[in-house]
Structure 1
Amino acid sequence: MSDAGTHTIVVGYVPTPEGLAAVDYALSHAQASGKARIVLVNSGAHGRDSDPKFASAEDLDALASRFAEAGLEHEIRQTPQALSPAEEILAAADDTDADLIVIGLRRRSPVGKLFLGSSSQQVILDAACPVVAVKRPG
């Protein structure tokens, strides 16, 4: 658990409705828990900034503004390292001694429902703290 009574929430973010659902959940949870800190992690596939999952500077600035307006301590990590998104999320959770990880899940076909996405599955199985997987509304 995080020190000094601060509840740390790591959010795996991609610029999609599922990513925004994860941010919304984390923001709501952080506000309800009192003293909380959000660490948002965004990474393209193996750190490639040309990957559509790599958020723009404008997108990240808008999220930082949302956290600041809510009065939440926050950090945004967008690393150019060659780690997978799951490894980036897990590393951030370990670095910050996270209390919770929040990730978004996309809708899947009937066959796809047999398996989670590989990143989601890795985070859920390897995390040292609880993980909340959020579906987009609708």
Structure 2
Amino acid sequence: MYRVLMAVDTDEERARRQAAYVASLPEASNAVEAIILFVFHDEGGDLPDELQPFKSALRIGSVRRAREHLEEHDVEYTILDESGDTVADILAEADRFDVDAIVLGGRKRSPVGKAIFGSVTQSVILETDRPVVLTGST
């Protein structure tokens, strides 16, 4: 089984493109497993315990779009959500599931934008020894 980690953000079109790439892999419906990861940041961190179950990746539109595309193409998938540092969580889940590749949805950023805000994609590429696939920006 070829296992890929799809780290999605809130952009539905990027998530769909990531799923389309995974579904296009050879024998995807028989030989590929996708792990869809969404990382929550501090929002909702102060939710009362009784509301924590509602903080779910399935409530995120981009996760649902990726899932729908994979289902349409009969690709096996798992959905995960984490809270915290996006890069660290991507790398940790890639290690935990021993994935064969990490699939990210790239977006256009100026060099100044990267310097000021950082780049999850750039950090993942530099900090992993696994193949990283960028599916392009909208």
Is the Cα–Cα contact under 8 Å of residues 15 and 55 in structure 1 kept in the other structure?
no
- Please state how far the C-alpha of 1:114 moved relative to its aligned partner: 7.3
Aligned positions of 1:9-88 closer than 5 A: 9-16=4-11, 17-29=13-25, 31-32=27-28, 34-45=30-41, 48-49=43-44, 57=59, 59=61, 60-79=63-82, 81=83, 83-88=84-89
Q: How many residues align?
A: 126
The structure richer in helix per residue is: 2
SS at match of 2:88: helix
Does 12-21 or 85-94 show the bigger shift?
Answer: 12-21
What are structure 1's unaligned runs of at least 5 residues?
1-5
- Who wins on radius of gyration, i.e. which is larger? 2
Distance of aligned partners of 1:63 and 1:20 in 2 relative to their CA distance in 1, 3 Å threshold: closer
Structure 2 counterpart of 1:14, one-letter code: D
What's the CA shift string for 1:83-121, capped at 9, x where partnerless? 311111111110111000011121123644779943212
Report deviation, 1:65: 3.2
Q: Percent identity?
A: 27
What displacement does 1:73 show? 1.4
Unaligned runs of 5+ in 2: 46-55
| Normalised TM-score (structure 1) | 0.72
CA distance in 1, matches of 2:133, 2:117: 14
